[in-house]
Chain A
Protein backbone atom coordinates (compact mmCIF):
# COMPACT_ATOMS: atom_id res chain seq x y z
CA UNK A 1 0.00 0.00 0.00
CA UNK A 2 0.87 3.66 -0.13
CA UNK A 3 3.31 5.16 2.38
CA UNK A 4 3.67 8.94 2.78
CA UNK A 5 6.57 10.45 4.71
CA UNK A 6 6.50 14.12 5.76
CA UNK A 7 9.30 16.40 6.97
CA UNK A 8 9.96 18.26 9.13
CA UNK A 9 7.70 17.31 12.01
CA UNK A 10 7.99 20.81 13.49
CA UNK A 11 8.92 24.09 11.82
CA UNK A 12 9.34 27.46 13.47
CA UNK A 13 9.69 30.60 11.34
CA UNK A 14 9.57 34.33 11.85
CA UNK A 15 6.57 36.21 10.55
CA UNK A 16 7.20 37.18 6.95
CA UNK A 17 9.61 34.31 6.25
CA UNK A 18 8.85 31.39 3.95
CA UNK A 19 8.04 27.87 5.10
CA UNK A 20 8.61 24.67 3.11
CA UNK A 21 7.22 21.25 3.99
CA UNK A 22 8.24 18.17 2.03
CA UNK A 23 6.56 14.82 1.44
CA UNK A 24 7.51 11.63 -0.36
CA UNK A 25 5.20 8.85 -1.48
CA UNK A 26 5.79 5.26 -2.50
CA UNK A 27 2.93 4.25 -4.84
CA UNK A 28 3.56 5.36 -8.41
CA UNK A 29 -0.20 4.98 -9.05
CA UNK A 30 -0.95 7.92 -6.74
CA UNK A 31 -2.23 10.82 -8.81
CA UNK A 32 -3.85 13.27 -6.40
CA UNK A 33 -1.97 15.13 -3.67
CA UNK A 34 -3.89 17.42 -1.31
CA UNK A 35 -2.59 19.45 1.59
CA UNK A 36 -4.73 19.94 4.69
CA UNK A 37 -4.42 22.48 7.50
CA UNK A 38 -5.66 21.46 10.92
CA UNK A 39 -5.97 23.94 13.75
CA UNK A 40 -6.15 22.66 17.31
CA UNK A 41 -9.42 20.85 17.94
CA UNK A 42 -10.75 21.52 14.43
CA UNK A 43 -11.35 19.50 11.30
CA UNK A 44 -8.70 19.15 8.58
CA UNK A 45 -9.37 21.69 5.83
CA UNK A 46 -8.04 21.53 2.30
CA UNK A 47 -5.74 24.43 1.45
CA UNK A 48 -4.40 23.35 -1.92
CA UNK A 49 -4.19 20.22 -4.05
CA UNK A 50 -2.35 19.08 -7.16
CA UNK A 51 -2.91 16.32 -9.67
CA UNK A 52 -0.18 14.28 -11.26
CA UNK A 53 -0.55 15.91 -14.68
CA UNK A 54 0.64 19.24 -13.24
CA UNK A 55 4.06 20.14 -11.85
CA UNK A 56 3.17 23.23 -9.86
CA UNK A 57 0.11 25.05 -8.59
CA UNK A 58 -0.14 28.39 -6.83
CA UNK A 59 -2.87 30.09 -4.82
CA UNK A 60 -1.87 33.48 -3.42
CA UNK A 61 0.80 32.81 -0.74
CA UNK A 62 0.60 29.03 -1.07
CA UNK A 63 2.18 26.85 -3.74
CA UNK A 64 2.65 23.14 -4.23
CA UNK A 65 5.23 21.45 -6.45
CA UNK A 66 5.22 17.84 -7.59
CA UNK A 67 8.08 15.72 -8.92
CA UNK A 68 6.53 12.47 -10.16
CA UNK A 69 9.85 10.91 -11.09
CA UNK A 70 11.27 11.36 -7.61
CA UNK A 71 7.86 10.78 -5.99
CA UNK A 72 7.95 13.88 -3.85
CA UNK A 73 5.85 16.99 -3.44
CA UNK A 74 6.26 20.12 -1.38
CA UNK A 75 4.18 22.89 0.14
CA UNK A 76 5.55 26.43 0.05
CA UNK A 77 4.06 29.23 2.14
CA UNK A 78 5.45 32.70 1.54
CA UNK A 79 5.12 35.81 3.74
CA UNK A 80 3.99 33.69 6.68
CA UNK A 81 1.56 35.18 9.19
CA UNK A 82 0.77 34.12 12.79
CA UNK A 83 -2.59 32.74 11.60
CA UNK A 84 -0.68 30.25 9.43
CA UNK A 85 0.33 28.49 12.67
CA UNK A 86 -1.29 25.03 12.59
CA UNK A 87 -0.53 21.41 11.75
CA UNK A 88 -0.21 20.73 8.04
CA UNK A 89 -0.76 17.29 6.51
CA UNK A 90 0.15 16.10 3.06
CA UNK A 91 -1.73 13.17 1.55
CA UNK A 92 -1.82 11.02 -1.55
CA UNK A 93 -4.52 8.98 -3.25
CA UNK A 94 -5.14 6.92 -6.37
CA UNK A 95 -8.17 6.54 -8.57
CA UNK A 96 -9.00 3.25 -6.84
CA UNK A 97 -11.25 4.35 -4.01
CA UNK A 98 -9.64 7.76 -3.55
CA UNK A 99 -8.91 7.06 0.10
CA UNK A 100 -6.22 9.38 1.42
CA UNK A 101 -2.92 8.23 2.89
CA UNK A 102 -1.64 11.00 5.13
CA UNK A 103 1.82 12.02 6.17
CA UNK A 104 2.61 12.38 9.85
CA UNK A 105 2.05 16.13 9.91
CA UNK A 106 4.15 19.26 10.38
CA UNK A 107 3.50 21.64 13.24
CA UNK A 108 4.19 25.12 11.86
CA UNK A 109 4.76 27.93 14.35
CA UNK A 110 4.96 31.48 13.01
CA UNK A 111 6.49 33.81 15.55
CA UNK A 112 5.34 37.45 15.41
Chain B
Protein backbone atom coordinates (compact mmCIF):
# COMPACT_ATOMS: atom_id res chain seq x y z
CA UNK B 1 0.00 0.00 0.00
CA UNK B 2 1.61 3.26 -1.11
CA UNK B 3 -0.91 5.54 0.59
CA UNK B 4 -0.70 7.41 3.88
CA UNK B 5 -0.59 4.97 6.78
CA UNK B 6 -1.59 5.70 10.37
CA UNK B 7 -1.17 3.58 13.47
CA UNK B 8 -2.89 2.59 15.60
CA UNK B 9 -6.35 2.74 14.01
CA UNK B 10 -8.05 2.88 17.39
CA UNK B 11 -6.82 3.85 20.83
CA UNK B 12 -8.75 3.79 24.09
CA UNK B 13 -6.99 5.39 27.01
CA UNK B 14 -7.78 6.54 30.51
CA UNK B 15 -7.89 10.23 31.29
CA UNK B 16 -4.47 11.48 32.31
CA UNK B 17 -2.50 8.95 30.29
CA UNK B 18 -0.14 9.86 27.45
CA UNK B 19 -0.74 8.57 23.91
CA UNK B 20 1.37 8.63 20.75
CA UNK B 21 0.19 8.19 17.16
CA UNK B 22 2.28 7.54 14.10
CA UNK B 23 1.85 8.66 10.49
CA UNK B 24 3.81 7.34 7.51
CA UNK B 25 3.25 9.67 4.54
CA UNK B 26 3.59 8.90 0.85
CA UNK B 27 7.33 8.65 0.34
CA UNK B 28 7.97 11.55 -2.04
CA UNK B 29 5.70 13.98 -0.18
CA UNK B 30 7.67 16.60 1.73
CA UNK B 31 4.68 18.17 3.48
CA UNK B 32 2.86 16.38 6.28
CA UNK B 33 -0.22 17.66 8.10
CA UNK B 34 -2.11 16.66 11.23
CA UNK B 35 -5.83 17.35 11.53
CA UNK B 36 -8.40 16.56 14.19
CA UNK B 37 -11.97 15.61 13.31
CA UNK B 38 -14.80 15.38 15.84
CA UNK B 39 -18.10 13.69 15.05
CA UNK B 40 -20.17 15.59 12.53
CA UNK B 41 -17.50 18.22 11.88
CA UNK B 42 -14.92 18.91 9.22
CA UNK B 43 -11.25 18.22 9.92
CA UNK B 44 -9.46 21.03 11.78
CA UNK B 45 -5.82 21.84 11.10
CA UNK B 46 -3.40 21.16 13.97
CA UNK B 47 0.13 21.43 12.59
CA UNK B 48 2.29 20.79 9.54
CA UNK B 49 5.83 19.89 8.59
CA UNK B 50 7.91 20.66 5.56
CA UNK B 51 10.50 17.91 5.61
CA UNK B 52 11.61 17.78 9.27
CA UNK B 53 10.73 21.40 10.10
CA UNK B 54 7.49 22.11 11.95
CA UNK B 55 6.37 25.31 10.24
CA UNK B 56 3.01 26.10 11.77
CA UNK B 57 0.89 25.16 14.74
CA UNK B 58 -2.79 25.91 15.23
CA UNK B 59 -4.15 27.55 18.37
CA UNK B 60 -5.95 24.22 18.86
CA UNK B 61 -2.61 22.60 19.62
CA UNK B 62 -2.28 23.11 23.36
CA UNK B 63 1.02 22.58 25.14
CA UNK B 64 -0.10 19.02 25.95
CA UNK B 65 0.29 18.22 22.25
CA UNK B 66 3.63 17.74 20.54
CA UNK B 67 4.48 16.56 17.06
CA UNK B 68 7.75 15.51 15.51
CA UNK B 69 9.07 14.45 12.14
CA UNK B 70 12.70 13.74 12.99
CA UNK B 71 14.02 12.55 9.64
CA UNK B 72 11.50 14.17 7.37
CA UNK B 73 9.72 10.86 6.81
CA UNK B 74 7.25 9.50 9.40
CA UNK B 75 5.71 11.75 12.03
CA UNK B 76 4.45 11.21 15.57
CA UNK B 77 1.78 13.13 17.48
CA UNK B 78 1.87 12.83 21.25
CA UNK B 79 -0.84 13.94 23.63
CA UNK B 80 0.15 14.19 27.28
CA UNK B 81 -2.28 14.01 30.20
CA UNK B 82 -5.22 13.19 27.93
CA UNK B 83 -8.61 14.75 28.63
CA UNK B 84 -12.06 13.60 27.54
CA UNK B 85 -12.19 16.55 25.15
CA UNK B 86 -9.26 15.04 23.25
CA UNK B 87 -11.52 12.22 22.02
CA UNK B 88 -11.59 12.58 18.24
CA UNK B 89 -10.30 11.16 14.99
CA UNK B 90 -6.72 12.30 14.32
CA UNK B 91 -6.03 12.45 10.61
CA UNK B 92 -2.68 12.74 8.89
CA UNK B 93 -2.30 13.99 5.32
CA UNK B 94 0.65 14.42 3.01
CA UNK B 95 1.29 16.28 -0.22
CA UNK B 96 4.06 17.56 -2.40
CA UNK B 97 4.89 21.21 -1.85
CA UNK B 98 2.54 23.50 -3.75
CA UNK B 99 -1.19 23.38 -4.27
CA UNK B 100 -1.51 19.74 -5.08
CA UNK B 101 -3.80 17.04 -3.79
CA UNK B 102 -3.52 16.20 -0.10
CA UNK B 103 -3.83 12.47 0.56
CA UNK B 104 -5.31 11.46 3.90
CA UNK B 105 -4.63 8.46 6.06
CA UNK B 106 -7.45 6.45 7.60
CA UNK B 107 -6.94 8.19 10.92
CA UNK B 108 -6.48 7.16 14.53
CA UNK B 109 -9.68 7.23 16.56
CA UNK B 110 -8.88 8.23 20.13
CA UNK B 111 -11.35 7.60 22.94
CA UNK B 112 -10.49 8.98 26.37
CA UNK B 113 -12.47 7.37 29.17
Which A residues form the contact surface with B (CB < 8 A)?
4, 6, 31-32, 34, 36, 42-46, 49, 51, 89, 91, 93, 95, 97-105
Q: Do A44 and B91 have beta carbons less than 8 Å apart?
A: yes
B98's partner among A42, A43, A98 (CB-CB below 8 A) is: A98
CB of B88 to closest CB in A, whole Å:
14
B55's partner among A31, A34, A97, A104 (CB-CB below 8 A) is: A97
Q: How far is the CA of A44 from the CA of B6 in the complex (A)?
A: 14
Task: Give the chain B neighbours of A6 by CB distance below 8 A.
Answer: 42
CB of A47 to closest CB in B, whole Å:
11
Q: Do B106 and A99 have beta carbons less than 8 Å apart?
A: no
Q: Which residue of A lies closest to B103 (CB)?
A: A46
Q: Do A49 and B101 have beta carbons less than 8 Å apart?
A: yes
Q: In which size bucket is the chain B interface? A: 20 to 34
Contacting chain A: which of B20-28, B43-51, B69-77? B43-51
Q: How far is the CA of A67 from the CA of B101 in the complex (A)?
A: 21
Q: Do B33 and A99 have beta carbons less than 8 Å apart?
A: yes
Q: Do B106 and A102 have beta carbons less than 8 Å apart?
A: no
Q: Do A43 and B105 have beta carbons less than 8 Å apart?
A: yes
Q: How far is the CA of A101 from the CA of B99 in the complex (A)?
A: 13
Task: Give the chain A neighbours of B90 by CB distance below 8 A.
Answer: none
Q: Do A43 and B48 have beta carbons less than 8 Å apart?
A: no
Can you list, as one digit per residue, whether each of B54-80 has a CB less than 8 Å from chain A (1) or not (0)?
011000000000000000000000000
Q: How far is the CA of A97 from the CA of B50 in the complex (A)?
A: 9
Q: Do A99 and B48 have beta carbons less than 8 Å apart?
A: yes
Can you list, as one digit per residue, whether each of B82-113 has a CB less than 8 Å from chain A (1) or not (0)?
00000000010101011101111111000000
CB of A60 to closest CB in B, whole Å:
18
CB of B101 to closest CB in A, whole Å:
5
A102 touching B43 in the complex, CB below 8 Å, given contacts A43-B106, A97-B56: yes
Q: Can you give 26 A-B contacts (C-beta < 8 A)?
A: A32-B99, A36-B104, A43-B4, A43-B104, A44-B43, A44-B104, A45-B104, A46-B101, A51-B99, A89-B42, A89-B43, A93-B99, A95-B98, A95-B99, A97-B55, A97-B56, A98-B102, A99-B33, A100-B33, A100-B43, A100-B45, A102-B42, A102-B43, A103-B42, A104-B42, A105-B42
